[in-house]
C-alpha cells in the first residue's frame, strides 16, 4: 500500500445462509454483516461520515393467470442495504449493518418463491473493504419447479458495488 498502512485481514461474522422470502412472506435477515479489520468490531471505527446505501434489482414475470387476465403478474425487488464510510484511525473505508432483502409487490396466482441469501468473505481492495454475497431465487408455479437464478453482490466501504445475475 502506498501510505504504508496495513489493515491486515478483514472479517465478517454473519455468514449463515438466510431465508429472505418463503411461504408468501418476506423474512428479515437477523444477522447483520460487516467488513472491518480483524480484531475490531464496527463500534470501534469512526462512522461520522457514514452513508446509507442500497442496491436493488426488480424482476417482473408473467404466469398462466396473468396471460388470461385474472392476475397482474409477479413483481419482485431483491437487493442489499448497508452503511458505508467507516474509518479506522482516519484511514480506509469500511462497512457495517449490511443485510439482504426480498420484497414482492405482486405475486401471480399459483406462484410461490423461496429466496435465500448469504454474505461471504470480506477483503480489502486498495484502501476499501469489500463484502461478497449472493441471493438465490427458486420459482414454482402450481407446485412445479419453474426456474431458478442467482445474483452475486459486492458491497464496498465506499458505497459502491455491483449486483450481477449469473
pLDDT tens digits for 27-61? Answer: 888 889 999 998 899 999 999 999 999 999 999 98
Domains: count for the chain: 1
Q: Residue 158 in 3-state DSSP? A: coil
- The answer to whether residue 7 scores a pLDDT higher than 70 is no
Q: Which residue has the higher pLDDT, 80 or 146?
A: 80
Whether residue 2 lies inside any domain: the answer is: no
**What is the rounded average pLDDT of the residues 137-153?**
91
Provide the pLDDT confidence category of residue 100 given band limits of 50, 70 and 90: very high
Whether residue 73 lies inside any domain: the answer is: yes
Nearest Cα neighbor of 42 from 32, 55, 54 is: 32
Whether residue 14 lies inside any domain: the answer is: yes
Whether residue 34 lies inside any domain: the answer is: yes
Whether residue 124 lies inside any domain: the answer is: yes
- Residue 135 sits in which domain range? 10-165
Whether residue 1 lies inside any domain: the answer is: no
Q: Which residue has the higher pLDDT, 132 or 70?
A: 132
Amino acid at each position: 500500500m502506498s501510505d504504508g498502512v496495513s489493515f491486515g485481514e478483514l472479517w465478517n461474522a454473519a455468514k449463515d445462509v438466510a431465508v429472505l422470502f418463503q411461504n408468501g412472506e418476506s423474512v428479515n435477515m437477523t444477522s447483520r454483516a460487516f467488513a472491518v479489520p480483524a480484531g475490531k468490531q464496527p463500534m470501534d471505527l469512526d462512522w461520522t461520515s457514514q452513508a446509507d446505501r442500497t442496491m436493488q434489482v426488480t424482476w417482473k414475470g408473467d404466469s398462466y393467470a396473468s396471460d388470461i387476465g385474472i392476475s397482474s403478474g409477479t413483481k419482485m425487488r431483491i437487493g442489499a442495504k448497508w452503511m458505508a464510510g467507516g474509518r479506522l484511525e482516519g484511514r480506509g473505508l469500511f462497512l457495517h449493518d449490511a443485510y439482504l432483502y426480498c420484497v414482492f409487490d405482486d405475486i401471480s396466482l399459483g406462484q410461490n418463491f423461496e429466496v435465500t441469501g448469504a454474505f461471504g468473505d470480506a477483503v480489502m481492495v486498495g484502501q476499501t473493504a469489500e463484502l461478497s454475497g449472493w441471493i438465490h431465487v427458486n420459482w414454482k408455479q402450481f407446485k412445479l419447479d419453474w426456474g431458478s437464478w442467482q445474483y452475486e453482490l459486492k458491497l464496498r466501504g465506499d458505497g459502491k458495488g455491483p449486483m450481477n445475475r449469473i
